[in-house]
Structure 1
Amino acid sequence: MDYAIVLLLVFLCHEVFTVSSSKLPHLSHKHQTSSLLKFKNTLTVDTSTSYLCQEPYPKTSSWNMSRDCCSWDGVICDEMTGHVIELDLSCSNLAGTIDSNSSLFQLSHLQRLDLSLNNFSNSHISPEFGKFSSLTHLDLSDSNFSGQIPSEISHLSKLQSLRLYGRLRLIAHDFKLFLQNLTQLIDFVNFPHNFPESMGYLTSLCYLYLQNCNLRGPIPESLSKLTRIEDLYLQYNSLNGTIPSGIFSLPSLSRLVLSNNHFSGQFEDFNSNSLNLIDLSNNQLQGHLPNSIQNLLLDLGNNNLNDTFPVWLGALPDLLVLSLRSNKLHGPIRTSSIENMFPELRIIDLSYNAFSGNLPSSLFQHLKAMRTIDPSMGAPRYHGDTYYEDSITVATKGFVRILYLYTAIDLSTNKFRGKIPSIMGDLIAVHIMNLSHNGLQGHIPSSFGDLSSVESLDLSGNQLSGEIPQQLASLTYLSFLNLSHNHLQGCIPQGPQFYTYESNSYEGNDGLRGFPISKSCGYARVLDTNDTVSGLDDEESNSDFQNDFWKGALMGYGSGLCIGLSIIYFMVSTGKPIWLARIIIGMEHKIILGRRKKQRRQRNYRRRNINHF
């Protein structure tokens, strides 16, 4: 009985303590509240700052003495002590300077500090930041700090993540002082010397983003010691020499971006089961492609690769993007040995090479991701989106989201000949198709009328003959069309989108006639009873044609807007969009130019339409 009473008392005491402690308010220290308010008063709110944020808002506007500071936006306190341990003022529209005597530095218990995406007016990073002895995460990126990074940062012995994106300089001999347990170092720090050899000492480093940091010289072999590294982004520097072979075999490396440097030499085979993004574009790499590449995203454009088409890439079941543009690749594309080729591919860019021979139908036969549209989403359906949403990091998630909306084929400026395979009309999810500047012959396949998502179709600079298929008039999203410099003849199709194209879309085809290059094509337009010539003026029109015209034009515009907003979302949310944006923006350039002219063409059309019909 006594034993039971003791247990009951222990239980009741525990419950009383739990309930009472759970109801205790955060007891912030008055001097911390005062320090935060003083820090707030040294800054102003400027809505023109934080423009890179998706939803910026002034968090400090909620700070006042009527509420405990632990309930303020951006402030987190320790539940037991009441100390302010986290301060997140990112995207807060803050403007001003942070001097060494700022009351911010009185918050001695801070563990996480995020001041990113504000405007601190070219303030230098104060040495006082080095006194936050408990700090594990420090983010000062994109906040207009400048000058030299103080060596006092190396005093932060618990620091795990350091983000310093901005116009900053780091002295080489100070780098060794940076901490052994650092797991994240973020970009746009200006290194005035060669790539620091001591970078390899950061054995806990998981993410290294140093794009556009004025890095020079070769990549030190010591980077091959970073066995925990997952992301390595070193693009837009002046790095040269060969890429250390050990980099490709790092056991945890998932994303490798070394584009826009001066790397040279040949590829070597490597063994990696973790790499799923490789971007080595815009270097001077030579030789053959190693068949050990098994990643999801591959950009090797603008190098000096001299090889035939790497047909074995088609067997990679998860390859999403393949860009081999502007190399010295040559010969025919042979695919007969590969079954189910490129099943998940969404972007293929082989332009500006010397590929030759016929376009094999088998290349396009199994492009499942380009053949399926989800009607409920109004966008191409990506197979396996649940897996990527759940399993890939934020950067790759953002990229995959854009892939849901975007597919493209660019085979331009090669030496392809023969007929265009009619099976390409089955690629109904393709947004951009560019087969220009080859030696393609025969007719334009009528199956192209099934390309219901296409916005840009460029077949110029070939030897195509016959008539333009009337089926193309049903492509309501088609904003850019170029059929110039072929041997086409007959009547130009009539339809809402075709009324928006100018004569340069058809130049160099002496056998073509009809609007907009001539007034007569041997047919008459059937007008609705309410569609009269007198009603066609610059101010208003009640014709059925005008309704259909605007429906088609707006549908085409809406599709492009969706793609554009997706690109912006990716750029803002990841901060690492450059290599993909270059591919997409390059292929969309003609669409954008065409849309800028559309409004003028629409106004002029009605005047010309009176004489035409």
Structure 2
Amino acid sequence: MRWSSLYLPVFWCRLLLVVKCSNVLMKVTNSSSSMQPLTLCSDEESSALLQFKHSFSIDEFASARNPPGHSKFESWKLDGENSDCCTWDGVECDEDTGHVIGLNLSRSSLYGSINSSSSLFNLVHLQRLNLGGNNFNQSEIPSAISKLSSLTSLDLLSSYFSGQVPSEVLGLSKLTSLVLSFNPLKLHNPGLNSLVENLTSLQMLHLSTVDISSAVPDAMANLSSLTSLILRDCGLHGHFPVDIFHLKKLQVLIMDSNQNLTGYIPEFNQSIPPLQQLRLALTNFSGELPYSIGNLKLLNVLDLGECGFSGSLPASIGNLTELVKLSLDSNQFVGEIPYMGSLSQVFSLSLNYNKFNRGTLPWLGKLAKIIVLHLSEINLYGSIPSSLANLTQLANLVLNSNHLTGQIPSQLMNQTQLLVLDLSYNQLQGPIPSSFSDLKNLGVLDLSGNSLSGTVELGNILKLKNLSQLSLSDNNLTVLSLLTKNTINATLPKFKLLNLRSCNLREFPDFLRFQDELELLSLAQNEIHGQLPEWMGNASEKILPWANLSILDLSFNMLEGPVPIPPLSIFSYQISNNRLTGKIPTQICNATSLYWLDLSNNELSGRIPLCLHNLSKSLSVLNFKGNTLEGTIPQICEGGSMMRMIDLSQNQLQGKMPRSLANCSTLEILNLGNNQIEDTFPIWLGALPVLQVLILRSNKFDGAIGSPKSNLEFSQLRIIDLSYNSFTGDLPLGYFHIWQAMKMVDEGRLTYMQANMSYQVQRRRWNDSYEYSLTIINKGIKTEYYKIQTLFKAIDLSSNKFEGEIPGTIGYLCGAQLLNLSNNALIGSIPSSLGNLTSLESLDLSQNKLSGEIPLQLTQLNFLAFLDVSHNHLTGPIPHGKQFDTFENNSYEGNPGLCGNPLSKKCGDPLPPSFSEQDDEDSDQFLTATDWIIIYMGFGCGLLVGLFIGHILTSRINECFVKTFGRRH
């Protein structure tokens, strides 16, 4: 035993030496082999790869979604050093067998179709396949993919595959990674539930923009190996399974742009996943953020923009020190914004459009790496923080729509990395610093909607060669363009967007002749006068030179000459309130993307172009009012329409209303007032489902209005003006029954009727609105409404030839604020049901033949500011109390039978004290206390019983006064 123990170590040493020598020999052999490479790839697989290569063409721009790549096929040859396919670019082989197990042709500029006969599916040993970033020309994913049963990774990202994802993909049971994002694919039958049940080993599932249109199955939470789940914009709905948040390996969860997907963010106290990215933007997730979200220490991206989250932001957000991007835009967050100065790695912070408490953010200067800072409309007060000067990498600063005051700090001019600076719609004052020209990299500058003052020399701003968006509108600035034609040249910045509205400009800026990239130009509300410049054409025809122009607003100036011809790209063309003359150019009809067209309040003549029907599928706003246009109205809405507002008022148009208007199914406002149209009441417009405003004022309409054919006609009508025509017959009793919108007493927040438009300029989304306007007689005065409140409801049937009595059913229209029935031939008494119109502000019944007394119920109209019952045959005392004590003589003149204040005519002696002791025959003619209770109880809005009782009791009042004071004539 002792001998063995002495010699055993020697034995192991010798053995170790033999092993080392063997290893050296193997290395030498391998080194020799590397000098004479062996061919590993089989002829069959080489041939399959070459056939696959030759089935496609090479197109540098094959995939519009990806930047151009390079063709990996250049090395695919069977000669010289490239004879082994395992050395070909993008090909991976197994070191032991030589079989092709990986093929990566991503962004290889492939273009062409693929089907099940493709030689690709002969590579049966493939484990990894990446064809992303090519263009397979809307091919369906071939069912032969089932031959690749060893696949563990399949990547078809942005490769123009289409159709239903075949069941054969779901049969690839070894898949751990499946990427089908950004293809026009469907996953319906089989659907997401089948995929989850079959591919249980998935670690990565990316299906963005694939049309799934289903709920997220609960079984998704059983994919215990899942590390990355990206289902952006898939049409998902229902409730998101909360257990997915607790998958132990989950690093990336991106579900944004699924607007109908609901859910909430759970607590992260027990099971804390290694989440690095959490993106739920543009979903319907809601609730409060849990304080335990601060436990996700690895989180580097948190994007919850445009969801339904509410409550206060937890202070624990400051614990997420790995965050590089934080976006909480457009939620309902309230309270204080917590301290975030500890987010030292964050380069993008966006808190826009929340309802935080009024405050400042003194910690902003600690975000040393911040590049993008978006703080729009979050209730910021005070001056612009001076600590922003510390943010030396800041490139994008957006502080618009807050309550910032003071001057623009000069320190901002040191931020030489700034690309975007938006301080619009605050209360900033003082001059624009001249040192703005030091911001050499600035591309976007928006200072509009402040109280900035002083003179701006445009030439200084034009030194910013990278500037593409400039907005100085709606300040107290005077913008001067002292540049001469000789100094203007191609070295000027190329603007995409230029907004100089209300900048006291007196001439058309000449440098615009060089701005061939303009997409948006607004010079509205200035003092620009005279003809448009010569470089737009001669005196008889002006052509706008900007081929890419989408938005043009030259309204409210003093421009003269012809209407300039817009480019085909235009979709908002506003040139109203100028002094333009001549005819409307027919070339406008070629702009088939035109959305808003406003040429109102000029001096245009001639006929409306017949070709306008070419625009019916795009045009939303058509406004030609306030010109001297003549002839008939063309068939505007033939073949369907997107029209929401048509205003042709204050012209000299003749003939009948075009029956094609019945096709304008989206029409909200129709204003044909102040023309010479001869027609009957357009009952055929009653079927328009959203028509809210109908103005036919001051034309030559005649005949009886008649009765509606159904209870749904004009159901949304809120404003109707038929005044100054020749309508005859009774008032439209049938319509008083069915004007549903008129019956509603709205108590919502103040909003205005408008058409909205969204457009994109230089990869930035802009929203704009066109506010509707109208002119109507209100409180006896012609009133121009530059904005129409959505709560405003008005009925003007004045100055016609209506006869008969005012029907009691007019009391149904409880929401009406203006009622004008004056200057007709109406008879009978004023219905007491008018007391139901509790929103009424203006009532005009003058110049009729009404008789009887003014109903006491009218004294309950608490908002009544204007009353005119003059020039009728009314009798009896004028009611008193509340608003009636504010009306003067002219409200009642021309009624000899009326008496009492404010008229000088008294109503006789007061009742004698012994009046209550009269005999029963007399006393029962007077109202008892019970009678009055019934009156007030009965006159609820729309209550027929109340109307009936009110009529009886009003008769008793009349009889009472006749018996007491005698009949008045």
Distance 1:466 1:242 in 2: 51
Q: Which amino acid aligns with 1:24?
A: K
Shift of 1:354: 0.9
Distance 2:440 2:415 in 1: 10
Matched residue of 1:249: which SS? helix
* In the alignment, structure 1 residue 514 sits paired with structure 2 residue 903: no
Shift of 1:17: 13
Residue 863 of structure 2, aligned match among 465, 477, 480:
477
The structure richer in strand per residue is 2
Q: CA RMSD in A?
A: 3.9
* In the alignment, structure 1 residue 74 sits paired with structure 2 residue 423: yes
Deviations 1:367-413 (A, max 9, x none): 111101245x499x99xx99999999622599998433211111111
Deviations 1:145-185 (A, max 9, x none): 112331x3132232100111122252254254621000011
Describe how 1:387-466 pairs up with structure 2 within 5 A: 394-396=769-771, 402-466=788-852
* In the alignment, structure 1 residue 308 sits paired with structure 2 residue 688: no
* In the alignment, structure 1 residue 24 sits paired with structure 2 residue 369: yes
The 1:409–1:521 alpha-carbon spacing in structure 2 relative to 1, beyond 3 Å, is farther
> Is the 8 Å Cα contact of residues 358 and 417 (structure 1) preserved in structure 2?
yes
Q: Counterpart in 1 of 2:744?
A: 372
> Is the 8 Å Cα contact of residues 130 and 156 (structure 1) preserved in structure 2?
no
Distance 1:347 1:141 in 2: 32
Deviations 1:480-539 (A, max 9, x none): 11111111111211221111111221111111122222343555799xxxxxxxxxxxxx
* In the alignment, structure 1 residue 269 sits paired with structure 2 residue 635: yes
Describe how 1:540-551 pairs up with structure 2 within 5 A: none
The 1:417–1:126 alpha-carbon spacing in structure 2 relative to 1, beyond 3 Å, is farther
> Is the 8 Å Cα contact of residues 873 and 896 (structure 2) preserved in structure 1?
yes
Describe how 1:191-210 pairs up with structure 2 within 5 A: 191-196=559-564, 199-200=565-566, 202-210=567-575
> Is the 8 Å Cα contact of residues 754 and 769 (structure 2) preserved in structure 1?
no
Higher mean C-alpha deviation, range 349-358 or range 242-251:
242-251
Distance 1:390 1:145 in 2: 27
Q: Counterpart in 2 of 1:321?
A: 693
Distance 2:474 2:835 in 1: 47
Deviations 1:198-254 (A, max 9, x none): x14x11101000012321111111110010110000011111111112224302110
Distance 1:505 1:17 in 2: 70
Distance 2:911 2:756 in 1: 53
Higher mean C-alpha deviation, range 112-121 or range 427-436:
112-121
Describe how 1:122-161 pairs up with structure 2 within 5 A: 123-124=480-481, 126=483, 131-150=491-510, 152-161=511-520
Higher mean C-alpha deviation, range 265-274 or range 475-484:
265-274
Distance 2:346 2:770 in 1: 43
Q: Which amino acid aligns with 1:520?
A: C
> Is the 8 Å Cα contact of residues 754 and 771 (structure 2) preserved in structure 1?
no
Shift of 1:93: 2.4
Distance 2:772 2:479 in 1: 33
Distance 1:387 1:147 in 2: 30
> Is the 8 Å Cα contact of residues 421 and 446 (structure 2) preserved in structure 1?
no
Distance 1:134 1:340 in 2: 54
Distance 1:133 1:419 in 2: 70
> Is the 8 Å Cα contact of residues 489 and 514 (structure 2) preserved in structure 1?
no
The 1:179–1:513 alpha-carbon spacing in structure 2 relative to 1, beyond 3 Å, is same
Distance 2:467 2:731 in 1: 62
> Is the 8 Å Cα contact of residues 267 and 290 (structure 1) preserved in structure 2?
yes
Matched residue of 1:274: which SS? coil
Matched residue of 1:471: which SS? helix
Q: Which amino acid aligns with 1:63?
A: S
Q: Counterpart in 2 of 1:330?
A: 702
The 1:374–1:284 alpha-carbon spacing in structure 2 relative to 1, beyond 3 Å, is closer
Deviations 1:399-442 (A, max 9, x none): 99843321111111111110111111111111110100100001
* In the alignment, structure 1 residue 107 sits paired with structure 2 residue 464: yes
How many percent identity over aligned positions?
37
Residue 230 of structure 1, aligned match among 592, 595, 598:
595
Residue 409 of structure 2, aligned match among 49, 62, 71:
62
Deviations 1:570-608 (A, max 9, x none): xxxxxxxxxxxxxxxxxxxxxxxxxxxxxxxxxxxxxxx
Matched residue of 2:798: which SS? coil
Q: Which amino acid aligns with 2:448?
A: S
Distance 1:66 1:387 in 2: 39
Residue 447 of structure 2, aligned match among 77, 89, 103:
89
Distance 2:698 2:413 in 1: 64
Residue 585 of structure 2, aligned match among 213, 220, 231:
220
The 1:336–1:162 alpha-carbon spacing in structure 2 relative to 1, beyond 3 Å, is closer
> Is the 8 Å Cα contact of residues 62 and 72 (structure 1) preserved in structure 2?
no
> Is the 8 Å Cα contact of residues 755 and 771 (structure 2) preserved in structure 1?
no
> Is the 8 Å Cα contact of residues 172 and 192 (structure 1) preserved in structure 2?
no
Q: Counterpart in 1 of 2:332?
A: none
Matched residue of 2:790: which SS? helix
Q: Which amino acid aligns with 1:494?
A: H
Distance 1:458 1:234 in 2: 34
Distance 1:225 1:507 in 2: 58
Distance 2:858 2:809 in 1: 16
Distance 1:136 1:521 in 2: 78
Distance 1:263 1:411 in 2: 26
Q: Counterpart in 1 of 2:720?
A: 348
Shift of 1:261: 0.6
> Is the 8 Å Cα contact of residues 172 and 193 (structure 1) preserved in structure 2?
no
Q: Counterpart in 2 of 1:183?
A: 550
Matched residue of 2:770: which SS? helix
The 1:212–1:405 alpha-carbon spacing in structure 2 relative to 1, beyond 3 Å, is same
Shift of 1:54: 10
Deviations 1:65-88 (A, max 9, x none): 69736497639xxxxx99211111
Matched residue of 1:373: which SS? coil
The 1:469–1:484 alpha-carbon spacing in structure 2 relative to 1, beyond 3 Å, is same
Distance 2:754 2:912 in 1: 50
> Is the 8 Å Cα contact of residues 485 and 509 (structure 1) preserved in structure 2?
yes
Rg larger in structure: 2
The structure richer in helix per residue is 1
Distance 1:309 1:471 in 2: 33
Distance 1:387 1:158 in 2: 27
Matched residue of 1:476: which SS? coil
Deviations 1:316-365 (A, max 9, x none): 22111111111111111123434322111111011111111111211211
Q: Counterpart in 2 of 1:7?
A: none
> Is the 8 Å Cα contact of residues 60 and 92 (structure 1) preserved in structure 2?
no
- Structure with bigger RCO (C-alpha 8 Å, 6+ apart): 1
> Is the 8 Å Cα contact of residues 644 and 755 (structure 2) preserved in structure 1?
no
The 1:130–1:338 alpha-carbon spacing in structure 2 relative to 1, beyond 3 Å, is farther
Distance 1:339 1:147 in 2: 56
Q: Counterpart in 2 of 1:164?
A: 523
The 1:512–1:242 alpha-carbon spacing in structure 2 relative to 1, beyond 3 Å, is same
Deviations 1:6-44 (A, max 9, x none): xxxxx99x99997687663459xxxxxxxxxxxxxxxxx
Distance 1:525 1:72 in 2: 81
Runs of 5+ consecutive residues of structure 1 not aligned to the other structure: 4-10, 28-52, 76-80, 527-613
Residue 659 of structure 2, aligned match among 274, 281, 291:
291
How many residue pairs align between the two structures? Answer: 479
The 1:433–1:390 alpha-carbon spacing in structure 2 relative to 1, beyond 3 Å, is farther
